[in-house]
Amino acid sequence: MDPYKNRPSSAFNSPFWTTNSGAPVWNNNSSLTVGARGPILLEDYHLVEKLANFDRERIPERVVHARGASAKGFFEVTHDISHLTCADFLRAPGVQTPVIVRFSTVIHERGSPETLRDPRGFAVKFYTREGNFDLVGNNFPVFFVRDGMKFPDMVHALKPNPKSHIQENWRILDFFSHHPESLHMFTFLFDDIGVPQDYRHMDGSGVHTFTLINKAGKAQYVKFHWKPTCGVKNLLEDEAIRVGGANHSHATQDLYNSIAAGNYPEWKLFIQIMDPVHEDRFDFDPLDVTKTWPEDTFPLHPVGRMVLNKNIDNFFAENEQLAFCPSIIVPGIYYSDDKLLQTRIFSYSDTQRHRLGPNYLQLPANAPKCTHHNNHHEGFMNFMHRDEEVNYFPSRFDPVRHAEKYPIPTAICNGKREKCIIEKENNFKQPGERYRSFTPDRQERFIKRWIEALSDPRVTYEIRSIWISYWSQVA
């Protein structure tokens, strides 16, 4: 038990998973939840430690979404949904709210080309009268994994080899061969839309299931979708090589130049709505982030439009220091028990505190534009002027009071503490439906990209066989 004998080193790796303190980890795949559905328990120390360590891996560049571009504008309500939500910024048609938006690639470094095959981040910060609302999503409506416990491993597999710093298909295919739920995401990533022409010509999605609550307390599940008015356009392989070779910042430049020329990008916001009492009626779990809601059953309802009509004033202040967190919501909008969303609620704010400091919400790009008050103070880089003598609550010397109560979901949580997977996995149906919807030439390009990936010399026969089996079940 000499404390200096086994110093931290790969040479002393345990044959099984442990926490940083050496405690054995018997399940490194599932979060600890109340019952099979959740929500996730904060007492899952291994999950919190895993995410907290992951959030602090790199400084100061973002761990993911490092390469991005931002612009400012407004969101305008065009359709009345006040019967669905008491959110003030959605109260009536014609209401406008200032926004700032950041588009990004996900895996690659801050200086990487914007033509690489990768999901694209699509994050919108609404500066509402009730505080900020961050709608943090991607250009695809689904994701690779459904449990945040796997997020650090997923990013490690997608990132460059830690030995050579080269992104390699064998690592990606090895990891995801253990996760057939990733097939649906791959039908988007390996499709033609895997390389958007630029940021103006791509969809956006909130990805997760959120909850809308009206004044009466009625809750509805919701999915958010952005559709560009100029249409979706992509780059095929030869085009991506040509465009990226000529300008590795082509999408950033296109966004900036378009706004400067008065050709303002615009998106329509749509929502899908589901009554939570109906969530067990389907052959998939509606809160499973690897699934979409069929539009023939859950049609897209228009809500409003977003116009980006102003370029940012400073790239560092309004892009690099711009921080989004799915945990930042407003009254009338709430989370769901989506396992991946539940972990992002913690992880994003945690990583911003690490990257930018505990007072990152004081930075102008992140600060709310409405009045606000609390007793959070001091710490690194605090630059708020305060002259109060009372920094506690309650106090008879300070008249500040609680805000008016607003409704949140009141579903009863009931179940055993357990680490488990979603019961209705159904990993192959939706990827198959999407693949069969492709035209023959689009199917051919999709298959060609997979053949190229599976041809990596370090992809073993076992891994290749697993993937062929998966896609056979899909097609």
Q: Could you tell me the CA-to-CA distances from 144 to 102, 177, 181, 198 in Å, in that order?
A: 21, 12, 7, 23
At residue 121's C-alpha, the angle toward residues 355 and 153, to 5°, is 65
Q: Which residues pair with 124 in a beta bridge?
A: 101, 135
Tell me the CB-side half-sphere exposure of residue 273, using CA atoms within 13 A: 15
Annotated binding-site residue? 348: yes
Amino acid at 198: D
Looking at 46, 65, 179, 354, which residue is catalytic?
65
Asked if 306 contacts 226 with a C-beta cutoff of 8 angstroms, the reply is: yes
Q: Could you tell me the CA-to-CA distances from 227 to 36, 224, 271, 278, 303 in Å, in that order?
A: 34, 10, 11, 27, 12
Copy the structure tokens of residue 463: 């891994």
Active site residue 179: no
Looking at 46, 108, 132, 138, which residue is catalytic?
138
Active site residue 138: yes
- Binding-site residues: 348
List the binding residues for heme.
348
Q: Which residues are catalytically annotated?
A: 65, 138
